[in-house]
């Protein structure tokens, strides 16, 4: 086990599955003490148990990041358990797929509360404690390529991630004097267990142009939109997050796209 994050303590919100669980696991492999998190304790505990079974150090904490009191309690738990909070990964997020003109205000607000307000509360909770510690730190907000483009049916998700991008820049400016670097990781389409369960290449529903907004979400359609010609992997997201967490990179206020070239590709499809 390498030690690139030795003696560091990291909090990873929404780390019961997918990208969040992958980042928490990687950080522990690199020597960090990790606080795993979910709104359901048993789900956070599953990730923590996997980490400890592999020789790492982790504690599961139940918290709803959209609640500022929970966010502060989550950050405080890192200090209580391990003596500091050095890395904060604001990963927790949800989505609703619905036409904007038909969207229930409660659906809109629930996404904004978790994806945008939750990132602010998490950053505020971690940032204030990092300032008190006086040793700097790294705040990593998980955004999305959807924060820079429009996709049908995703208005609250896209708006929230666009907000995360500019919030990241603003926090970076405010916290720089405390040697706290704030950056965002914006993944493209990444293969996760949830993705495998909900979308299969060649599914007739996904290919039906009349079945909005599903058309275009088939594996083949997405791969044709990506210059690297494939989905990203959790291993790759781990590596980008580790780069940001380790510091020593003179980078703050940046939105780092990990999308296989999706946003750079102006043509739209390779036409195959």
> For the chain, which domains are there?
9-190+232-255 (3.40.50.720)
Distance CA 95, CA 109 (A): 11
What pLDDT does 212 receive?
A: 59
For residue 201, name the pLDDT band (cuts at 50, 70, 90). very low
Mean pLDDT, residues 133-147: 98
For residue 177, name the pLDDT band (cuts at 50, 70, 90). very high
pLDDT(271) > 70: no
pLDDT(185) > 90: yes
Q: pLDDT tens digit string along 86-114?
A: 999 999 999 999 999 999 999 999 999 99
DSSP string, 138-153: EEEEE--GGGSS--TT
For residue 269, name the pLDDT band (cuts at 50, 70, 90). confident
Sheet holding 33-38, edge to edge: 57-62, 33-38, 9-12, 87-90, 137-142, 180-187, 255-258
Calculate the alpha carbon distances from 173 to 49, 130, 181 in Å.
37, 15, 9
Candidates 157, 214, 215, 217; catalytic one: 157
Mean pLDDT, residues 59-84: 98
Dihedral sign, Cα of residue 165, residue 258, residue 216, residue 269 = positive
Distance CA 142, CA 93 (A): 9
Residue 48: closest CA among 3, 10, 91, 76: 10
Instruction: Decide: 258 and 232 in contact? Cβ < 8 Å.
Output: yes
Q: pLDDT tens digit string along 114-126?
A: 999 999 999 999 9
Task: Report percent pLDDT > 70 for the chain.
Answer: 89
What pLDDT does 224 receive?
A: 87
157 in active site: yes
Distance CA 244, CA 181 (A): 9
């Amino acid at each position: 086990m390498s030690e690139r994050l030795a003696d560091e303590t990291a909090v990873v919100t929404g780390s019961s599955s997918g990208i969040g669980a992958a980042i928490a696991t990687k950080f522990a492999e690199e020597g960090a003490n990790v606080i795993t998190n979910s709104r359901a304790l048993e789900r956070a505990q599953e990730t923590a148990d996997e980490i400890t079974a592999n020789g790492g150090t982790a504690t599961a904490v139940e918290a709803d990041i959209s609640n500022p009191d929970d966010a502060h309690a989550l950050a405080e738990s890192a200090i209580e358990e391990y003596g500091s909070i050095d890395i904060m990964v604001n990963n927790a997020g949800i989505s609703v797929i619905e036409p904007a003109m038909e969207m229930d205000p409660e659906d809109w607000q629930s996404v904004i509360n978790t994806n945008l307000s939750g990132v602010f509360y998490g950053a505020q909770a971690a940032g204030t404690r990092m300032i008190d510690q006086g040793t700097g730190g790294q705040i990593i907000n998980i955004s999305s390529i959807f924060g820079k483009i429009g996709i049908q049916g995703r208005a609250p998700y896209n708006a929230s991630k666009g907000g995360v991008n500019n919030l990241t820049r603003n926090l970076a400016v405010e916290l720089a004097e405390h040697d706290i670097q704030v950056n965002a990781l914006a993944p493209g389409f990444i293969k996760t267990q949830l993705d495998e369960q909900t979308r299969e290449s060649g599914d007739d529903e996904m290919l039906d142009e009349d079945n909005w907004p599903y058309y275009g979400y088939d594996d083949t359609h997405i791969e044709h939109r990506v210059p690297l010609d494939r989905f990203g992997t959790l291993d790759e997201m781990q590596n980008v997050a580790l780069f940001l967490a380790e510091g020593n990179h003179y980078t703050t206020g940046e939105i780092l796209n990990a999308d296989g070239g999706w946003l750079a590709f102006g043509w739209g499809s390779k036409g195959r």
